[in-house]
């Protein structure tokens, strides 16, 4: 992923977006939330400008940082709805401590684990903001992000706006990479999303009116962001404007769903089913129908690739070869696999060279 230098955005400089401030806490976030001076409470019952939706499951390690990044926003007219998915760690207590001192923070709890789609839907039912955006419980926002995106949306008249993701490692250190590496703003429609599914990792700000009648597909536990964004763009024949500034810091973790490259059968079958439902429930243009057909073939190839890799791990090499012969589309997965391995080796070699001053 190329290194990207972002340009300035409305109300927030690129240096502010890229600043690598230390987000570590001097003491536990729960103690800090309880002992610091309470944030001024908003007594106005009018709907806030922005609702930030945060799904959480066992996020105690990072959720305090995520909440504090919302509290540090230059835009103060927000509400944060944390929808917990029956966590078994201390994250609920951490959120509750913040909520006691800041009335803009709401906590929704659950008695059983139902998946991220279900808890996000619960939050959307409670959301009062004119605009809706999302924050994962292990990620953080740059200080001016909400205000900047809101100004972008209002000045452009767009119903969906986003910025690029700045990728940080598990400890929060900058990696020098962004998701898209944009140099100027770009617009994407439903066809663009299908051609580049990674766009679904973006965390857009969406006009709440566009989400009326739309909810996450609760049968999906992976690929749910792609699914709802695709249906949103198709329903309104809309486009998402993406700006090159990086106000969202995405923490890439080894165990996170979005960085796990070995998608299993259940995940792929769920995506195939969602793709089939979308094709059956929407009137598609020729270009969108063709894109959906390509996605179907790609997902099927990935499903067969799982069979190939499983056979190789179990040293059933003849079976692996038969899978490739029977399903030639899997060759594209083979090419992607070796390209990723080669890119990884090159990246490691460059880091090693920098370490030794070469």
Q: Give the whole-angstrom CA distance, residue 181 versus residue 166.
A: 9
Taking the domain 14-256, which CATH number applies?
3.90.550.10
Residues 6+ apart with CB under 8 A from 226: 193, 197, 200, 271
pLDDT band at 34 (very low <50, low <70, confident <90, very high): very low
Distances (CA, A) of 37 to 33, 43, 241: 9, 18, 38
Of the chain, the percentage scoring pLDDT greater than 70 comes to: 77
Q: In this structure, are strands 105-108 and 205-207 parallel, antiparallel, or unpaired?
A: unpaired
Higher-scoring residue by pLDDT: 225, 324? 225
Q: Give the whole-angstrom CA distance, residue 244 versus residue 285.
A: 29
Tens-place pLDDT, residues 59-79: 999 999 999 999 999 999 999
Tens-place pLDDT, residues 103-121: 999 999 999 999 999 999 9
In the beta sheet, which residues pair with residue 133?
52
* Residue boundaries of the structural domains of the chain: 14-256, 265-352
The 10 Å CB-count burial string (b at 16+, else e) for 118-147 is: bbbbbbbeebebbbbbbbbbbbbbbbbbbb
User: Which of 267, 246, 248, 247 is CA-nearest to residue 257?
Assistant: 267
pLDDT band at 254 (very low <50, low <70, confident <90, very high): low
């Amino acid at each position: 992923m190329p290194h990207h230098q972002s340009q300035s955005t409305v109300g927030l400089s690129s240096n502010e977006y890229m600043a690598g401030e230390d987000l570590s806490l001097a003491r536990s976030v729960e103690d800090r939330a309880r002992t610091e001076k309470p944030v001024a409470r908003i007594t106005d019952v009018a709907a806030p400008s922005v609702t930030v939706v945060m799904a959480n499951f066992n996020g105690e390690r990072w959720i305090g940082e995520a909440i504090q990044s919302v509290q540090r926003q230059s835009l103060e007219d927000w509400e944060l709805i944390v929808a917990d998915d029956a966590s078994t760690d201390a994250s609920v207590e951490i959120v509750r401590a913040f909520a006691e001192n800041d009335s803009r923070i709401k906590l929704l709890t659950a008695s059983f684990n139902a998946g991220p789609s279900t808890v996000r839907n619960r939050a959307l039912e409670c959301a009062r903001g004119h605009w809706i955006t999302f924050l994962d419980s292990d990620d953080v926002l740059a200080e001016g992000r909400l205000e900047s995106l809101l100004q972008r949306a209002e000045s452009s008249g767009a119903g969906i706006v986003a910025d690029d993701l700045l990728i940080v490692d598990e400890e929060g250190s900058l990696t020098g990479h962004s998701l898209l590496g944009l140099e100027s703003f770009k617009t994407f429609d439903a066809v663009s999303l299908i051609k580049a599914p990674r766009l679904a990792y973006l965390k857009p700000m969406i006009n709440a009116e566009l989400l009326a009648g739309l909810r996450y597909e609760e049968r999906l536990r992976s690929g749910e962001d792609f699914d709802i964004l695709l249906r949103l763009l198709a329903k309104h024949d809309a486009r998402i404007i993406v700006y090159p500034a990086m106000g969202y810091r995405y923490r890439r973790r080894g165990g996170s769903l979005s960085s796990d490259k070995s998608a299993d059968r259940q995940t792929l079958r769920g995506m195939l089913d969602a793709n089939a439902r979308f094709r059956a429930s929407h009137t598609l243009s020729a270009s969108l129908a063709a894109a959906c057909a390509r996605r179907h073939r790609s997902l099927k190839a990935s499903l067969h690739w799982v069979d190939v890799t499983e056979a190789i791990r179990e040293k059933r090499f003849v079976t692996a070869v038969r899978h490739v012969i029977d399903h030639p589309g899997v060759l594209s997965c083979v090419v992607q696999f070796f390209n990723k391995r080669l890119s990884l080796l090159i990246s490691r070699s460059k880091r090693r060279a920098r370490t030794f001053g070469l």
